Amino acid sequence: MRELEERVAGLLGKPEALFFPSGTMAQQVALRVHADRTGRRSFAGHPQTHLHVWENQGYNALHGLRFHPVGDRNELFGLDDLKAVREPLAAVVFELPQRDIGGVLPAFADLAAQTAWARRSGAAAHCDGARLWEAQTGYDATFAEISALFDTVYVSLYKGLEGVRGAVLAGDGETIGQAAVWRRRMGGAIADAWPLAAIALMGMDVNLPRMAEFRDHAQALARAINEDGFAHTTPDVPATPLFHVHLPLSRHDAQRAAEHLLRETGIRLFLYTRSNPDPRRCSFEVSVGISGLEFTPREVVELIRGLPSRV
Amino acid sequence: MRELEERVAGLLGKPEALFFPSGTMAQQVALRVHADRTGRRSFAGHPQTHLHVWENQGYNALHGLRFHPVGDRNELFGLDDLKAVREPLAAVVFELPQRDIGGVLPAFADLAAQTAWARRSGAAAHCDGARLWEAQTGYDATFAEISALFDTVYVSLYKGLEGVRGAVLAGDGETIGQAAVWRRRMGGAIADAWPLAAIALMGMDVNLPRMAEFRDHAQALARAINEDGFAHTTPDVPATPLFHVHLPLSRHDAQRAAEHLLRETGIRLFLYTRSNPDPRRCSFEVSVGISGLEFTPREVVELIRGLPSRV
């Protein structure tokens, strides 16, 4: 485990790193430490941040923190959106890439300006790097150069690494020291998590060097889908191995078609759809990893095109 | 003011009613009273409830309450979604109609089953009736029959009534008595609010009797838009004077076109657009009141059809 923590810290250019059994716990602890240090109870982030949408307001129920959404839920936020938050903030959470709008990345210069603004205002800049391994391929910058913009960085040990589970939080020694206290309080100081570390280290060896290849394949898939025109993607050109496909089908029809496809061919095109304000439409996420390379752009287009006939 | 409170209480079939300077305050107080009575700190409601999206988590910052979203953000929730909330609830908030998905109304029988379930579980059933005046036209039921499903009902004194501002909370004597204490604590016991009451009473005389007429016009507008086919509406057939129009335009293009339209013709087609997960699309809200009757379905279709040429 120590080897994993040191390797992540080294890659991210941070003095220390600490394993957590989940990203939920890692990020709550990061925010708690920032809040206790600043004496502020609010943090800001994208309206669709996992912290707010998927964790039953644990940040509040456990830590007495409040969330302030920034900008439009379907777009990246900008510096002006951040400045519109009129409340003292303990931290600003930056998710790289912004998964729920299709894996979009802010320009590096925008990100630098936003994190600098946050820190000038007395807030910590925290990176939700659940998919930072994938995000890095979208920047002309190393992991350490990206991480240098942030006080704390959380990375996931599964997702892009195709590992089992677990998370690592990286930062300076004082912050990570305080995080270790909260990890124990939350029941996350697990003695025998070394198998997770071993698998994550393998993932770093095998998957990390291939991220650019995954992104290139994602771009080829998206190009084919957009040229075909039945569906289309966001972003138009993926910046990372992740993108969304927008379908002219209701989500119930799309879900049914995908289930029929799975039964008939064994191919799972997507796990679930995302609803749309227009009930005639929905979308799903594509995340290219090793198994995603098996499908050619032509094959993916045909699978998508065939959905209406399988409803 | 007493006259207004008594008239609203009478119309809603509740023993008592209390004026508030804002709906934000009225609903926070209702939830606070329910929470203190039940000893529970969480309330549930639609993911797009005003309480959660537009009030900077005031329910938490002021009252220590937490919000639990129910169901999909683009759909009405159902009884199964409510049952999936595994947390003791102080209250369930039902918004009639559900504005942010196009003014959709649950079937009366569904609503009755859901409020009954909430009350059996020990939670209060609270009605966010900001647009209850409009919602009633979608039911084959009186205001009192709808209100009987709820422990507390909030109604707005502007919006559908085209008044200036203010809100009324109705319920039993004990609840409203406790609400009056919280109204004073929050600075809402305003001595000279009678002009607001006078205007609201006028609105009740003038606008309330015409709600069915507004709804019929909304239905005629929606039918024309859907027959034309350039844009389309949710719901397909509005249940109330409120519906959404989905446009095949980015929200920035739609906004620009609407500004040009306003400058060139003096007609404001919409105030703002709603973004969509697909950046090539957006939507806007139509709410038919007295001024909305001036536009024929044909005219509205032509205004919408003309948007791309004004980008």
For chain A, the structural domain boundaries read 2-206, 210-310
| Residue of chain B minimizing CA distance to A68 | B56
Supply B97's token pair: 């109609």
Q: How confident is the model at residue B75 (pLDDT cuts 50, 70, 90)?
A: very high
Q: Which parts of chain A register pLDDT below 50?
A: none
Give residue A160's pLDDT.
87
Give residue A115's pLDDT.
98
Interface of B with A (CB under 8 A): 56-57, 60-61, 66-68, 72-75, 87, 101-102, 232, 234, 244, 246, 274-281, 283
d(CA A85, CA B103): 29
Q: Are A148 and A115 in contact (CB under 8 A)?
A: no
Supply A61's token pair: 């129920």
- pLDDT over 70, % of chain B: 100
For B186-234, the pLDDT digits (tens) are: 999 988 889 999 999 999 999 999 999 999 999 999 999 999 999 999 9
Parallel, antiparallel or unpaired: strands B232-234 and B242-247: antiparallel
Give residue A162's pLDDT.
85
Give residue A75's pLDDT.
97
Task: Write the DSSP string, B187-237.
Answer: T---TT-HHHHHHHHHHHHHTGGGHHHHHHHHHHHHHHHHHH-SSEEESSS
Give residue A163's pLDDT.
84
Q: How confident is the model at residue B112 (pLDDT cuts 50, 70, 90)?
A: very high
Q: For residue B88, list chain A residues with Cβ-Cβ distance below 8 A.
A: none
| Residue of chain B minimizing CA distance to A53 | B69
| Residue of chain A minimizing CA distance to B231 | A278
Q: Are B101 and B48 in contact (CB under 8 A)?
A: yes
The answer, yes or no, to whether residue B3 has pLDDT greater than 90, is yes
Supply A73's token pair: 């839920």
Q: What's the CA dihedral at A240, A245, A246, A250 to 10 degrees?
A: -140
Of the candidates A60, A234, A281, the beta carbon closest to that of B60 is on A60
For B18-41, the pLDDT digits (tens) are: 999 999 999 999 999 999 999 999
ipTM of the complex, rounded to two decimals? 0.90
CATH class of domain segment(s) B210-310? alpha beta
Q: How confident is the model at residue B72 (pLDDT cuts 50, 70, 90)?
A: very high
For B239-261, the pLDDT digits (tens) are: 999 999 999 999 999 999 999 99
Q: Collect all residues with Cβ–Cβ distance below 8 Å to A259 and sequence separation of at least 6.
A: none
By CB atoms closer than 10 A (0-12, 13-18, 19+), residue B192 is exposed
Q: Are A235 and A219 in contact (CB under 8 A)?
A: no
Asked if A275 and B56 come within 8 Å (Cβ–Cβ), the reply is no
- Top residue of B59, B249, B278, B280 to mutate, by most chain A CBs within 10 Å, is B278
Give residue A63's pLDDT.
97
What stretch of H or E contains A233? strand A232-234
- What value does the mean pLDDT take over residues B163-174? 95
Q: A2-206 architecture in CATH?
A: 3-Layer(aba) Sandwich (3.40)
Q: For residue B283, list chain A residues with Cβ-Cβ distance below 8 A.
A: 277-278
Give the burial string for A53-76 (b: 16+ CB within 10 Å, else e). Answer: bebbbbbbebbebbbbbbbebbbb
Q: What's the CA dihedral at B133, B138, B143, B145 to 10 degrees?
A: -160
